[in-house]
Each structure stands twice: as structure tokens, then as C-alpha cells.
Amino acid sequence: SQQGEEDPQALSIQEGENATMNCSYKTSINNLQWYRQNSGRGLVHLILIRSNEREKHSGRLRVTLDTSKKSSSLLITASRAADTASYFCATVLGMDSSYKLIFGSGTRLLVRP
């Protein structure tokens, strides 16, 4: 399988703390994306980092990518209870209109008020 794997599987933190989730993958990628899923809902795209980028920011999110180690991390700073959700990394395979996303198994984040 070429799936990304997130670590840890579950994370519980206090509101205001930072949350870090890691993703490892197996093959060369075009880009890597992070998605969020609230309980019982569909996935929502958070951020995309291309294979030639090392770090990207979006609001309280910071994503890093290390292609030599085939790994990425998602940092959520100053977490809020509303950040409670599952977070998935997805690697992109293919360079044409039939590109596919391969999802990891996710990190379940609980932010305690």
C-alpha cells in the first residue's frame, strides 16, 4: 500500500496547547494534503504542500515536508476546543487529470476546554 500513516493515532491536549501530527508515506509524491473531518461529516481540505516546498503556513496551521524522510507534520498552534476532529494526510499520485489521493488512517485530536 502507498498509504500515508499518521502518528499518533490519537492525541488529547488542553486548550491553548499546540498539537503536532506526523505523516509518513512510502513513494515519491507530487504534493501532500491535510484534511480535517469532524465527527460524522465529510472531509474538509486544510492545506496543500508541494513536493518542492519545505514549509507552509495558513493561519494557526504550519505544515512541513521532508521528502528525503518521506514525512510531513501538521502543527496546530494555540488549539481550541473547536479543533477537535480527525486529521488525515493524503498523498497525491499521478500527474494528469486522473490523479488520486491516498489517505492515511488519521489522527484523532481531542482538545479539552
Partner 1 sequence: NAGVTQTPKFQVLKTGQSMTLQCAQDMNHNSMYWYRQDPGMGLRLIYYSASEGTTDKGEVPNGYNVSRLNKREFSLRLESAAPSQTSVYFCASSEWLGPEYQETQYFGPGTRLLVL
Query: Which residues lie near partner 1 (CB under 8 A)?
Result: 3, 30-31, 33, 40-45, 48, 88, 92, 95-106
Task: Give the DSSP H or E segment for 56.
Answer: strand 55-58
70: Cα separation from own chain's centroid: 13
CB of 86 to partner 1, least distance (A): 9
CB-nearer residue toward partner 1: 27 or 98: 98
CB-nearer residue toward partner 1: 75 or 102: 102
CB of 74 to partner 1, least distance (A): 15
CB of 41 to partner 1, least distance (A): 6
Query: b/e per residue, 89-103, with b = 16+ CB within 10 A?
Result: bbbbeeeeeeeebbe
CB-nearer residue toward partner 1: 42 or 113: 42
Closest by Cα among 67, 57, 7, 61 to 32: 67
CB-nearer residue toward partner 1: 16 or 41: 41
Tell me how crowded residue 112 is: count the other CB atoms within 10 A of its CB: 11
Closest by Cα among 34, 31, 52, 35 to 43: 35
